[in-house]
Structure 1
Amino acid sequence: MKNARFLPHFAIALGAALLAIAILYWPGIAELLRDWSSREEYSHGYFIPLVSLMLVWQQWPTLAQLRFSGSWNGLGLVIVALLLLLIGQLSTIYLVVHVSLILLLTGLVWAFTGLGAMRILWVPLIYLVFMIPFPPFLHNQMSLGLQLLSSEIGVWFIRLFGISVFLEGNVIDLGSYQLQVVDACSGLRYLFPLMSFGFLIAYFFRAPWWQRVIVFASTVPITVAMNSFRIGVTGLLVEYFGIGAAEGFLHDFEGWIIFMACTALLLAEVWLFVRFSGHFRESRSFGAALALDWPEPLPAGFVPSERSVPKPFWAAVALLALTAATMPFLQARPVESLARESLTVFPEEIGQWEGTPEILQDNILKSLDLTDYFIGDFIGGGDRRVNFYAAFYDSQGAGESAHSPRSCIPGGGWRIEDLQRISLDGLFVTGQPLRVNRLKIQRGEDKQLVYYWFQQRGRVLTNEYAVKWFLFWDALTRNRTDGALVRLTTVIQPWEDWADGDRRLREFAALAVPELGRFIPD
């Protein structure tokens, strides 16, 4: 197949653009690759760019015959993308960086091809959204919600077979064995790939728009229903064949079967539309309604025209090169040294509380990427015990920031039962009343009460999104991104209630918080 001929300087412009993208976005791209390789929910991410290119290839004969006039609107989108990149880098939110990358690619294509080609290419570009992982906080919230919902439906299914079962949160008690519906069983590892597949089916489905929307939207209830069915079947297998049925190869193999069943249900939904919808009255062929067409041949005698690089694309490449040259200097602005002591010398005795410092494992320290920290149990007499953790970061960037306990706690198998924001009466930090996040967490029969807050550059914050905003704002206006996370945790014993834990944490906080001033600068 003959292709449109590009003048030699197109290679120069394209090479410069790719080099600038690599310089600016490599940390974000590397984070994408880490997520795809380490998190099963996003392992399909490797295929998304390839499928997107396939969608472009499918339209190549049409594109080859279009005149690429370029568009200054594309340059405007490139500017928006680069501003988002700056916000993402300074606010430490990789999601913003990844969205910026897709907008940048869209802007470059738009600046080069113009509006006519964008009417064809917008679907392959939009499809790239499915390769972006959700931020940890939102991912964990979705996972917890799906765990609870799938557990309830799964227990309902088990009871249909006359089996006595008790559900507490996401723990299914069968008497002889307890099944815990953890993060890996939430259904997200089915949902995200199925949504990307459902988008493709809706795209290729030659049907009215409302039918396409229904097909895509149905990926969510299909995933929830089939994952709940899987949990129910696992409970039945445990009841009749023992706990080995819930572990190992059978459990994984069962997961593959469920995903294939989800795909089959999605295709069955398309078949029902084809079979019974009036739109397909003339032809009820499933293959004709859902077909991946090969590119049609170019017209006989077609002679490709030479294509120069449009001015908007040159301007976008120049802006990219300028940003790639200046961004390292912006991020590496000299920062004044902070007058503070290291948390490694935090006092091990506070009032009547005596502490025993702990050392975090190297792999944990590497993932946290903090400057210094203190963690240890403080005993205040009898069985009164509080775990104190404070982590300080002298600078925070994308991938190097305080990790919210709301994101980390579910990773340890704990379930957040309740979250409130409360004030600790009589306690002040930098002249502000101390407000904290109060979490009730539970894992099986174990209960803990957690207080935590972010103490950053003279502010006390409890909202994770506010933390990101002020990181961005202070990086621009004060050239500072330092800050700390402070967390207090106590175990709620079987004979205690939550109020006993509140008294313990408040008593310890009244003594520990005044000590933090010399370790966390205003």
Structure 2
Amino acid sequence: MSTTTQRHPPSQWPTASLALALLIAWTLAWYFDTASAIVGIWWRSETFTHGFLVVPIVLWMVWHKRAHLALLQPQPSLWVLGLLLLSGLGWLLGDLVAVNALTQLALVTMLALLVPMLLGMAVTRTLAFALAFLFFAVPIGEFAMPQLMDWTADFTVTALRLSGIPVYREGLQFVIPSGNWSVVEACSGVRYLIASLTVGTLFAYLNYQSTKRRVLFIIVSIIVPVLANWLRAYMIVMLGHFSGNKLAAGVDHIIYGWVFFGIVIMLMFLVGARWSEPEPSVSAADLDAVTQRKPLPGKPSPTAPAFALVAVLAAVVVALPLTARWGLDQAQNNAPVQLVAPPQLAAGWAAQAIPDLEFQPAFDSPSAQINTTYALGEQRVGVYVGYYRQQNYQRKLVSSANVLAQSDDPIWAQVANRGKDINFNSKQINIREGELRKASVNTSSGEDRLTVWLVYWVNGQLTASNAQAKLQGALQRLLGRGDDSAVLILYTNKGEGDEGAQRLQAFVQANGAQLTGLLEATQHNQRPPN
């Protein structure tokens, strides 16, 4: 009696693994600037230092799944090329307007998409958690800082009042009988949130098997640090209040905060461990399928040329965004910006030789700027224009660093920020209205306060929205019109009631057309209209 053996198609893992490694290297080489920017943020920012551990952890997760992966046959998927192209477009849009978060997210997305494209969906499902964890390498999350700061201030002030302590609050600053306090960036809790979410996600992966439990624990790891930061802020103010500001002052409150956060996270892990689930092992039948080389379920085994074809197409798609960027750079206006404040505006407004209003917005590295006070009788209005051309990651119009006043500004403190509809050149537009007061003054005197209006000018369009300004800038670049844009800031003494806003509205009605004409002339390197 003769026996026949069932032939198993040769494993394509060596071919697929080599193609994947080469494509990853190819992608990182093309996008080296973006990748190095990610590592640079890891290096200099304590908030994102954990990024150095993300890639080793992802590699360990893949190694941990090696027995399951051995049961699968890699299958290249051409349809993923469309997603890869969309990710590349996202990188291009982000790079055109210098948005680090978008370019870095797009790069990591491209790297993650190489897995389903070369190895197939079965392998991707096995590695889904590892691929998702890879996104913790992206240094993102500080966009939530303003909202977290507002919530922290809201909770702290409410808790102090419930504790019987009188509080006077303006914006993120408040005064209690024992001293002045303010919620600054370090008090937002964003560091605690990012750290908790990262380690909480890893804990969920290691201790739970069901998707439901993993998702629930990740949600808990988001909520707990936010609540803990509110309690931390309240307790620090109380410590300072009852100790005559001898405790929890200076760097002490940062140290106390991390100690408190560490205790809270340990308690969260101890509670979460009560519902841990053992990891299922690979069955003996599965191991036999590998050792006896029985046919693996799924599609027919792909050939080496199939992997090569998909890899070559992917390499071309990866290179397309940078090629397009090079072409768009050729249309860039490289002429020096010529921006001069007009000595006279409409209706008798004249520039002052020595400005009465002393205010300098915190906008970094504009290509050119003017900051001039105009006078009409006893009225004074300051005009600041920050003009941007050839924007990059160090010089850009819309940035979290570009604000009316930094939190540590020694002269001005921002106490209000809101949207406002105004009449500008016979059109209704939305601007951003802020209120600043002298940092050393605790009174509500209108002479110690400024009413400030801010609006962006991008390709002839006015908007107060950061997102719209970015989108307009990206569209302008894609159409080959360069990246000229500006911020227009008007400011005046607040005075009594709504006096400052009324003065700014009258100034805009009289001079809005001349101000936008100045920007348009600067864009085309022409003399401004008289």
Q: TM-score, normalised by structure 2?
A: 0.77
Contact 1:454 1:483 in 2 (8 A): no
C-alpha distance in structure 1 between counterparts of 2:434 and 2:499, whole Å: 11
Q: Does 1:420 align with 2:426?
A: no
- The offset of 1:508, in angstroms, is 6.4
Partner SS for 1:242: coil
Which amino acid is the alignment partner of residue 351 of structure 2?
W
Partner SS for 2:496: coil
Q: 1:454 to 1:171 in 2, by over 3 A?
A: closer
Equivalent residues in 2 for 1:214-233, closer than 5 Å: 214-233=216-235
Contact 1:93 1:398 in 2 (8 A): yes
User: What are the Cα deviations for residues 98-152 of structure 1, in whole angstroms up to 9, with x where unaligned?
Assistant: 232232122211122112211111111111223334476xx1xx32332232233
Deviates more, 1:510-519 or 1:289-298: 289-298
Query: In structure 2, what is the equivalent of residue 171 of structure 1?
Result: 173
Q: 1:318 to 1:124 in 2, by over 3 A?
A: same
- The offset of 1:450, in angstroms, is 2.4
Query: In structure 2, what is the equivalent of residue 453 of structure 1?
Result: 455
C-alpha distance in structure 2 between counterparts of 1:21 and 1:73, whole Å: 19
Contact 1:355 1:379 in 2 (8 A): no
Query: In structure 2, what is the equivalent of residue 251 of structure 1?
Result: 253
Equivalent residues in 2 for 1:184-195, closer than 5 Å: 184-195=186-197
Q: 1:151 to 1:517 in 2, by over 3 A?
A: closer
- The offset of 1:500, in angstroms, is 2.1
Structure 2: state its 5+ residue gaps.
1-10, 295-300, 443-447, 526-530
Q: 1:222 to 1:355 in 2, by over 3 A?
A: farther
Contact 1:374 1:388 in 2 (8 A): no
C-alpha distance in structure 1 between counterparts of 2:335 and 2:214, whole Å: 60
Q: Does 1:376 align with 2:371?
A: yes
Query: In structure 1, what is the equivalent of residue 480 of structure 2?
Result: 479
Which amino acid is the alignment partner of residue 145 of structure 2?
S
Q: 1:491 to 1:40 in 2, by over 3 A?
A: farther
Deviates more, 1:495-504 or 1:441-450: 441-450
Equivalent residues in 2 for 1:383-422, closer than 5 Å: 384-396=379-391, 400-403=395-398, 408-409=403-404, 411-412=406-407, 414-415=413-414, 417-422=416-421
- The offset of 1:383, in angstroms, is 7.2
Contact 2:12 2:304 in 1 (8 A): no
C-alpha distance in structure 2 between counterparts of 1:16 and 1:518, whole Å: 50
Contact 1:416 1:441 in 2 (8 A): yes
C-alpha distance in structure 2 between counterparts of 1:200 and 1:9, whole Å: 28
Structure 1: state its 5+ residue gaps.
275-288
* 2:433 aligns with one of 402, 414, 439: 439
Equivalent residues in 2 for 1:212-291, closer than 5 Å: 212-271=214-273, 274=275, 289=276
User: What are the Cα deviations for residues 411-438 of structure 1, in whole angstroms up to 9, with x where unaligned?
Assistant: 436556342242335x37xxxx473513
Q: Does 1:516 align with 2:524?
A: no
Contact 1:392 1:484 in 2 (8 A): yes
User: What are the Cα deviations for residues 340-387 of structure 1, in whole angstroms up to 9, with x where unaligned?
Assistant: 9601x33355432325699x99xx89x53x4x3123241526875444
Q: 1:8 to 1:48 in 2, by over 3 A?
A: closer
Q: TM-score, normalised by structure 1?
A: 0.78
Query: In structure 2, what is the equivalent of residue 183 of structure 1?
Result: 185
Higher relative contact order (CA 8 A, sep 6+): 1
Max Rg structure: 2
Which amino acid is the alignment partner of residue 350 of structure 2?
Q
C-alpha distance in structure 2 between counterparts of 1:228 and 1:10, whole Å: 47
C-alpha distance in structure 2 between counterparts of 1:385 and 1:309, whole Å: 75
Q: 1:18 to 1:267 in 2, by over 3 A?
A: closer
Q: Does 1:28 align with 2:28?
A: no
Q: 1:339 to 1:97 in 2, by over 3 A?
A: closer
Deviates more, 1:21-30 or 1:376-385: 376-385
Which amino acid is the alignment partner of residue 125 of structure 1?
L
User: What are the Cα deviations for residues 142-179 of structure 1, in whole angstroms up to 9, with x where unaligned?
Assistant: 32332232233334444565544444443232223111
C-alpha distance in structure 1 between counterparts of 2:14 and 2:209, whole Å: 41
Q: 1:162 to 1:243 in 2, by over 3 A?
A: same
Query: In structure 1, what is the equivalent of residue 63 of structure 2?
Result: 57
Query: In structure 1, what is the equivalent of residue 528 of structure 2?
Result: none
Contact 1:356 1:377 in 2 (8 A): no
- The offset of 1:401, in angstroms, is 3.0
Partner SS for 1:380: strand
Identity rate of aligned residues, in percent? 21
Q: Does 1:335 align with 2:331?
A: yes
Q: 1:157 to 1:17 in 2, by over 3 A?
A: same
C-alpha distance in structure 2 between counterparts of 1:399 and 1:328, whole Å: 22
Q: Which has the higher helix share?
A: 1
State the number of aligned residues: 485
Contact 1:393 1:402 in 2 (8 A): yes
C-alpha distance in structure 2 between counterparts of 1:341 and 1:79, whole Å: 35
C-alpha distance in structure 1 between counterparts of 2:184 and 2:321, whole Å: 45
Which amino acid is the alignment partner of residue 440 of structure 1?
G
Query: In structure 1, what is the equivalent of residue 114 of structure 2?
Result: 108
Q: C-alpha root-mean-square deviation of aligned residues, in Å? A: 4.0
